[in-house]
Amino acid sequence: MSILRGKNSPFCILRRFNNLKNFAHDSTKTSATSASATQAPSPGTFTISGKPSISVPQDTVKVTLQKPDMDVLVDTTTISRQMVAEQISKSIAFDNIPGPISLRIIHRIWGMVPILSTQITGGAIQYFLAVGSLLSWSGNMALFKRFFDHYGPVVRLHGPLGGDIVMVSRPEHIAAVFKNEGPYPIRSSLDSVEKYRLQHRKLRHTGPILMFGPEWENFRKSIEQPLPQLIARQYDKIDDACNKFIARIANIRNRQEEVPGTFQKEIYKWCLECMCLVTLDKKLGFLDPCGLSSTSDPGVLLDGLMKATKAIQRCEYGLHLWQFLPTPAWKSLVENCDAIDNVLSKYVHRIQVLIKEKKEASDGVSKEVNCLMENVLLKPGIMVEDAMTILLDMMLIGINATAHTIAFMLYHLAKNPRCQVKLYNEIARQPKKLSKDALAAMPYLQACIKETLRLKPPIPLLGRILNDDLSIYNYHIPRGTYLLMVTSLSSWREEYFEDAHKFMPERWLTPIDDMQLFASIPFGYGAKACLGKELAEMQIGALITKILRNFKIEYLYGDINSTNKLWAAPNKKLRFRFAERV
Ligand code: HEM
């Protein structure tokens, strides 16, 4: 009986989901208030990018749609509120959205058992994906594709007692979701991390990935504003880490000039070294030529992060039994997140001391902010425990996504030698010493990064709890619904990308239309889009440039695909051959 009463009881889980739904309801009001507070627009003003747009008459809604690359405004549409309401009133009822019958039956059964959570449906999908071969589905995105092929572009998966999931994958439908989301989007994911932080650690916040509303906005600004300047300033240190990585490749190659199957771990180490430089201004020595001792700070951090990633994936897959019982995956999550926290808190504490010293120092001492954590800790309203959650979130999402992109880019360049030669020629024309801006101005390099992210997006699904009622493909989808955007499928659509499954960086060298941009959004979109885009692009560019200057990359084994995990990782060992350039 106790499981029915505790914080994790089904009723509490349902209450939590309802709280999110209520926030979804209220945030439309909040967004109008916050917009009017900053620019005093008319009550009809509505913005997509989070920045208030020009006021429009009271009965209209101003929708400003920003390109996913965040640079240019591309589409400005004024829709009257009446039109939106009319569109919804003419829409086909939510109950008529097609979906798999078996889940409807399961829904009826679930309706009778006391386990309620939207995530159970999500978990079921993940579970079916994981056991795909048993069900004669071929894994990866195949199940999602099957759903869309069978039921059409909008699919409803019935969850227990109404915690349904609606799935879309067409760029125009994804764009419609983002148009609707307002300044405080809600992403519901990683329940296990939320439980770890709120219940196990008793922290006051869940961290930027999971938060929403004005407090999340404050967290986000503490990273978003200083990051571009800081990463430009840290370029030389990142370049130094690249040199160490080149030395490491030379060191670990065998007589065929192939790196060992553990090469993904080496990329992981390099990403961690860069992350610690930018966030803590600390060279931790992950790339030490003598290797890492398992008890050293970098050793514990590396091991902890890899194991925590695995544990989170295991918790998020399948039925969430850890909500009720201390499963092995839950125990591993707690153990490893605690270990990471122990190491990182030492360095965050040093930064606190440094801030204090700077405050007390007489004039003439440099008050320049050196790293991201210093900036975060100086921000009003942010406590040390908040800074720790920001740091861990950046590591969890940033290290995994960046490391996997580097791995896949090396793979695609190895499999497409003509693209590799073209990129090498572009690199050879550059001066030896590069910078963040110089990398951004290399068109073929940027095209190769975009193409890798299109073919192998490290985060293949984006989720939102709708802030407002929405009409997609003429179906009415009520606010509070959990909407899953299968963005990886949209980026493989033939109507937007010719020979969509081929690695063709050239496609990004000519102007592309707006919907094509929406078809491939590896960094997400809108107010909750990726915070580390610039950092990731600079890191990937700096390392690939350095590798190609020194080596020719080859890969002589079977095709590498993405795993269907939370973070899409390479499904095979990265046995690249790095042949010395002469
Ligand atoms: C190739 C590398 C990367 C990719 C493909 C990537 C992709 C993404 C995606 C798809 C999202 C969700 C966006 C949405 O829901 O609309 C996201 C969020 C986020 N990313 Fe990245 N990311 C990368 C690297 C990084 C790095 C290096 C950092 C660290 C600075 C980082 C920090 C974050 C954070 C903190 C969020 C949550 C933002 C929020 O909810 O406000 N990412 N990322």
528 lines ligand 1 (CB under 6 A): yes
- pLDDT for the residue 20: 53
| Residue range(s) defining the domain that contains residue 437 | 192-580
Q: Which amino acid is at 572?
A: K
pTM: 0.85
Please check whether residue 554 lies inside any domain of the structure: yes
* Contact (CB, 8 A) for 454 and 491: yes
- pLDDT for the residue 381: 85
* Contact (CB, 8 A) for 501 and 492: yes
Q: DSSP label at 159?
A: P
Residue nearest to atom 37 of ligand 1 (CA): 209
Please check whether residue 227 lies inside any domain of the structure: yes
Residue 388 CA to ligand 1 center (angstroms) comes to: 17
- Please state, in angstroms and rounded to a whole number, the distance separating the CA atoms of residues 81 and 481: 21
Please check whether residue 115 lies inside any domain of the structure: no
- pLDDT for the residue 134: 33
413 lines ligand 1 (CB under 6 A): no
- pLDDT for the residue 385: 93
Residue nearest to atom 19 of ligand 1 (CA): 530
Please check whether residue 549 lies inside any domain of the structure: yes
Please check whether residue 520 lies inside any domain of the structure: yes
Please check whether residue 328 lies inside any domain of the structure: yes
Q: DSSP label at 429?
A: T
Nearest in space to 161 (alpha carbons), one of 351, 13, 364: 13
Atom of ligand 1 nearest to the CA of 537: 1
- Does 371 appear as a known binding residue? no
390 lines ligand 1 (CB under 6 A): no
Q: Which two tokens stand for residue 2?
A: 């106790």
Nearest in space to 551 (alpha carbons), one of 568, 576, 571: 576
Residue 524 CA to ligand 1 center (angstroms) comes to: 8
CATH of the domain at 272: 1.10.630.10
The count of other CB atoms within 10 Å of the CB of residue 50 is 20
220 lines ligand 1 (CB under 6 A): yes
Residue 532 CA to ligand 1 center (angstroms) comes to: 6
Please check whether residue 350 lies inside any domain of the structure: yes
What does DSSP say about strands 482-485 and 551-554: parallel, antiparallel, or unpaired?
A: unpaired
Residue nearest to atom 9 of ligand 1 (CA): 523
* Contact (CB, 8 A) for 413 and 423: yes
- pLDDT for the residue 289: 81
Residue 397 CA to ligand 1 center (angstroms) comes to: 6
Per-residue pLDDT of the chain (582 residues; tens, 9 = 90+): 333 334 444 334 444 444 555 555 554 444 333 333 323 223 333 222 222 232 333 333 333 344 444 433 333 344 455 666 777 778 888 888 988 776 666 655 555 544 444 555 555 665 555 443 333 333 457 778 888 999 999 998 876 555 678 999 999 999 999 988 888 998 877 889 999 999 999 999 888 888 888 888 988 988 888 888 888 888 999 999 999 999 999 999 999 999 999 999 999 999 999 999 999 999 999 998 887 888 999 999 999 999 999 999 888 876 778 888 899 999 999 999 999 999 999 999 999 998 988 888 766 556 678 899 999 999 888 899 999 999 999 999 999 999 999 999 999 999 999 999 999 999 999 998 899 999 999 999 999 999 999 999 999 889 898 988 999 999 999 988 889 899 989 999 998 999 999 999 999 999 888 788 889 999 999 999 999 999 999 999 999 999 999 999 999 999 999 886 777 899 999 999 999 987
- pLDDT for the residue 532: 94
- Please state, in angstroms and rounded to a whole number, the distance separating the CA atoms of residues 210 and 556: 41
Residue 470 CA to ligand 1 center (angstroms) comes to: 26
Please check whether residue 31 lies inside any domain of the structure: no
Per the structure, how many domains does the chain have? Answer: 1
- pLDDT for the residue 135: 34
Residue nearest to atom 24 of ligand 1 (CA): 398
